[in-house]
Structures are given as C-alpha cells and as structure tokens.
C-alpha cells in the first residue's frame, strides 16, 4: 500500500488508492504560510477560477488559493486512475476542511464522480463561502458532503461577521455560538484524521 503526499506549504494532502478505493485527507494548518492564508478573509469573486461556470460567487481568498495549490495534481490523479476507482472518500480537518469540500464539489462539477461512490467528511471548518456560494455548493454536493461539528469548536466562529461567510450543513453536537473551545476543535480534527487512517 503506497500513500502519496502533497506538501507545498499551502496545503498538506495525504492520499492512497487501494483495491479501487481512493481516500484523501486534507490536513489542518501546519506551516506558517498556511496561517497567513487562513487570515486572508477578503472575498474573492470567481467565475470558477479553476474551470468555467455560468454563475460567479465569492469565497475566502486564502482558502481558495490553498486548494488551487494542490487542485491540478489531485484532479489529474483521479483522471489518470479513473478506470480503477469505484469509491472516493474525502476527509478534511480545520484548514483542510474547506479544501476537502472544494475538491468534492470540483469532482461533481466536472462529472468525475459518475459511477463512483463519493463521500466527503470534514470537521473544524472555518466559514469560508458567501451565501450564494453556499447555496450553489450545497445543491451540488448535498447528498455527498457532511460537516461534523463538536459543539463549541472555535474554528466554526471564524471568519469575522462582516464577511457574511457560511459553512454547509453539519452533523454532531449543535453549535454553541457563545462558547469557543480549542479542545473541541482538536477533538474533531483528530476524529477526521482517525477516520482517514482507519476506514
């Protein structure tokens, strides 16, 4: 079993293809440069910056650039091995949660999921998409993507209110807007990593 790693300082991804099952893990913030991009809250208007689409929407520019840094390598890997893949399981934690969901939506938008069981589980996600983006992405991946929460997870409170960023539906303990917990955030990130390694 060979595990591949992409680490270009903007996004750390581990993935492996075993017996037709491709699974990927988009890790949480590791490098100092990732921390810088985490706080680039400026909305970035894209008309699908990595492929054409009829509707434009805004996303967190920092997270978008981090996903773009690994996007081509991952999409090309899927295209190259498409005939031997029957399921794709995507996991993402914290900083990597936005990239995990973006990758899932990317596969759906480009019809790379046809005939493939596709599932995306992510947790500890900061808010990173506009209200319009949230509606569009939810519509595309609503049956394939689940955000796991841990109640008082501090990351779910970021970015600032003025950005009006959203995150998609959740599963787990209800959000508590008045509580900020580093422990809850670490716990949900560990759960995502464990699921990748054990499933």
CATH topology of domain 4-198: Rossmann fold (3.40.50)
pLDDT at 39 over 60: yes
How is residue 26 written in tokens? 């988009």
Q: Are strands 12-18 and 21-26 parallel, antiparallel or unpaired?
A: antiparallel
Q: Are strands 117-123 and 87-93 parallel, antiparallel or unpaired?
A: parallel
Ranges of each domain in the chain: 4-198
pLDDT confidence tier of residue 15, bands split at 50, 70 and 90: very high
How is residue 89 written in tokens? 């399981």
Closest CA to 23 of 46, 1, 55: 1
Q: Which residue has the higher pLDDT, 132 or 120?
A: 120
Judge residue 32's burial from the number of C-beta atoms within 10 Å of its C-beta, 0-12 exposed, 13-18 middle, 19 or more buried: exposed
pTM surpassing 0.75?
Answer: yes
Tell me the pLDDT tens digit for each residue of 65-118: 888 899 999 999 999 999 999 999 999 988 888 889 889 888 988 888 888 999
47 three-state secondary structure: coil
Structure letter (DSSP) for residue 166: B
């Amino acid at each position: 079993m060979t595990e591949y790693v992409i680490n270009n300082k903007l996004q750390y991804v581990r993935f492996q293809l075993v017996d037709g099952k491709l699974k990927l893990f988009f890790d949480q913030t590791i490098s100092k440069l990732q921390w810088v991009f985490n706080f680039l809250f400026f909305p970035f208007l894209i008309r699908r910056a990595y492929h054409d689409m009829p509707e434009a929407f805004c996303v967190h520019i920092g997270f978008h650039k981090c996903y773009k840094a690994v996007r081509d390598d991952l999409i090309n890997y899927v295209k190259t091995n498409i005939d031997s893949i029957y399921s794709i399981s995507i996991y993402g934690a914290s900083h990597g949660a936005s990239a995990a969901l973006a990758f899932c939506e990317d596969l759906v938008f480009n019809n790379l999921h046809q005939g493939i069981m596709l599932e995306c589980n992510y947790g500890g996600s900061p808010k990173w998409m506009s209200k319009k983006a949230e509606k569009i992405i939810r519509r595309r991946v609503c049956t394939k993507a689940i955000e796991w929460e841990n109640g008082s997870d501090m990351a779910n409170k970021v970015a600032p209110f003025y950005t009006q960023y959203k995150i998609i539906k959740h599963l787990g303990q209800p959000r508590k807007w008045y509580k900020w917990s580093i422990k809850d955030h670490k716990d949900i990130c560990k759960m995502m990593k464990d699921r990748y390694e054990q499933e």
